[in-house]
Structure 1
Amino acid sequence: MIEAVMLWNEPNNKSHWDPEVDPEWVRFSEMAKLAGQAIHAVNPSLPRVLGGISPIDPSFIRRMETNGVLDAVDAVAVHGFPLDWNLWQIHEWPEKITEIRAVTNLPVWVSEVGISTFGAEEVQLWGLNRTAELIVGQAPRIHWYSLYDLPREWEATTRHREAEGSSYYRHFHMGLLRQDGTPKLALEAFARHTPALGLCQWFHFEDHRLDEAVAWMKRLGVTYLRTGLSWADSFRPNALDWFDRQMAALADFDVTVTFCFTPEHRGLAPHHSSAPVDPAEFAAFCAAMVRRYAPGQVERAR
């Protein structure tokens, strides 16, 4: 059911890890090491991936090596959105992957890459095909973000929301499907790039799109998926019922599960991006989820 686990999401992005609470990533490093060790103790063959970094920054990977984090993971990952948020051009994708390979011997995954339809659907269509030309074969896993647009009634998981201007609103236009489930121009082209391309699709707590998403992924020829199990959600009533339902629905795919999001009441600051009061609690959550969903031997993704 689970082929790999990912420790956090974009730890060097201030929308996902609060630099005011942990400016030197000392607390993050301690948390990631404890989590990696706890996962290994439950299932030694389950690959552990450092949360995809955004921006793509070799110096951050060097910092993680210095702090001992890379000894507790089996791969690192990058996220790239050159047509929406990054200050580099799409043709630089191979160079960006090479920059990270130069500072680690670990495999480098592309755990999020995507293009919004904020300006025009034609931009996403062109960008999807160009991205596939540039990076298919360059990484063991390439997760396209995402299947669905984020519903406008929801909030994007970012710290500053509307204060980010148009950068915030692009979050709502990253899907191959619109909010109502109708296809965009790039959907048919995406199917031509599977199974080489996988998907990254976050499912919110008790997400009404889950079953429909599974049907679409099978129709599109998707074989591998990245999603998340939220530490914060684990404190909701009936959390395990939802986690069980989500993981059972995804059983036909090779799933990379991202463990992230600090519960407000367990953070040094009351926010999902805060370092936790006790990093061992996050490690215990990771171990419990692996024990529940991936307790046996798992073939490593290469």
Structure 2
Amino acid sequence: MIEAAMIWNEPNNKSHWDPEIDPDWRRFAHMTTLAADAIAASNPDIIKVLGGISPIDSGFMGRMKDYGVLDHVDAVAVHGFPLDWNLWQIHEWPEKIDEIRAVTHLPIWVSEVGVSSFGAEEVQLWGLKRTAELLKGKAARLQWYSLYDLPRSWEATTRHREAEGSSYYRHFYMGILREDGTPKPALEEFARQTPDFGLVQWFHFEDPRLDDAVSWMRRLGVRSVRTGLSWADRFRPNALDWFDRQMRSLEDFEVTVTFCFTPEHRGIAAHHTSAPLIPEEFAAFCSEMVDRYAPRQDSSAPSIAALGAR
């Protein structure tokens, strides 16, 4: 069920990892090393990926190298949104990849790249075409963010919300499908870019869009999908039922699962961006998910079909 496991999401972005608690990322490095080793112990065939960094920062990657983290993973990842949030231009994409390549010999994944339709849907269409021209052949994995617009009734995962001005509202226009499920002009162009491009789609707990999303991904010719399993959600009632349904729905794709989000009661601070009180608990969650959805081939663990039949 899982081809690759990504350990955390955008650890150098304060919307996803609190730098006041962990200013030198030493706690993050220790947690990531524990998680990578736990994943490898559960299934050595799983590709272990360092959480995609945003911004693209060779200094941060160098710090992870110095901490020894890169010795425990199989690939590193970057995220880039030059038409929406980054302080560089879209044509600089190859240079950004080269900056990371200068730090590590590991394969580089672009595990999130996207363009919002906040200003105009035509901008998103042009941005998709130009991104494909710039990135094809430059990275081991390319994944477009995202399939759906974020519903306006939900909250974007970011620190300051409306105080960020238009930067916040751009989060709600990243899909190639509108909130109501109707296609934007970029959808047809995206279909031309598959299977070179995969998709990123985060599914909220018991997300009602799951079945339609899977149907769209099949129609679009998508092969690789990146999504998430939330450590915080693991403590909700019926969490495993939802996880089973989500993973069973995605079984026809090459799935990268991102493990992230600290449960409030298990963090140094009561927030999903906090470093955990006990990093071994996060590693145990990663191991549990791999054992459940990607067990060793010789494992006696139940299959996902068996789990769904219970």
1:60 matched to which residue of 2? 60
- Which amino acid is the alignment partner of residue 89 of structure 2? Q
SS at structure 2 position matched to 1:2: coil
Displacement of 1:68 in angstroms is 1.2
TM-score (ref. length: structure 1)? 0.98
Q: How many residue pairs are counted as aligned between the two chains?
A: 297
Displacement of 1:162 in angstroms is 1.2
Identity of aligned residues (%): 77
1:33 matched to which residue of 2? 33
Which structure is richer in relative contact order (CA contacts within 8 A, separation 6 or more)? Answer: 1
SS at structure 1 position matched to 2:52: coil
Map 1:223-262 → 2, pairs under 5 A: 223-262=223-262
SS at structure 2 position matched to 1:51: strand
Displacement of 1:220 in angstroms is 0.4
Matched, 1:51 2:55: no
2:186 matched to which residue of 1? 186
Structure 2: distance between partners of 1:48 and 1:159: 27
Runs of 4+ that moved beyond 3 A: none
Using the TM superposition, name which of 119-128 and 137-146 deviates more.
137-146
- Which amino acid is the alignment partner of residue 123 of structure 1? V
Displacement of 1:282 in angstroms is 0.2
Displacement of 1:138 in angstroms is 1.1
Q: Which ranges of structure 1 fall in alignment gaps of 5 or more residues?
A: 298-302
Map 1:278-289 → 2, pairs under 5 A: 278-289=278-289
1:164 matched to which residue of 2? 164
TM-score (ref. length: structure 2)? 0.95
1:81 matched to which residue of 2? 81
Displacement of 1:296 in angstroms is 2.4
Structure 1: distance between partners of 2:174 and 2:65: 32
Structure 2: distance between partners of 1:161 and 1:286: 29
1:272 matched to which residue of 2? 272
2:212 matched to which residue of 1? 212
SS at structure 2 position matched to 1:119: coil
Deviation string 1:197-227 (CA, Å, 9 cap, x unpaired) is 0000000000000000000000000010000
Matched, 1:130 2:98: no
Structure 2: distance between partners of 1:53 and 1:251: 27
Q: CA RMSD in A?
A: 0.6
Deviation string 1:235-291 (CA, Å, 9 cap, x unpaired) is 000000000000000000000000000001111111110000000000000000000
Q: Which ranges of structure 2 fall in alignment gaps of 5 or more residues?
A: 298-310
Displacement of 1:128 in angstroms is 0.1
Map 1:12-27 → 2, pairs under 5 A: 12-27=12-27
Displacement of 1:181 in angstroms is 0.2
Structure 2: distance between partners of 1:163 and 1:284: 36
1:104 matched to which residue of 2? 104
Deviation string 1:142-200 (CA, Å, 9 cap, x unpaired) is 11000000000000011211111111110000000000000001000000000000000
Structure 1: distance between partners of 2:251 and 2:45: 19
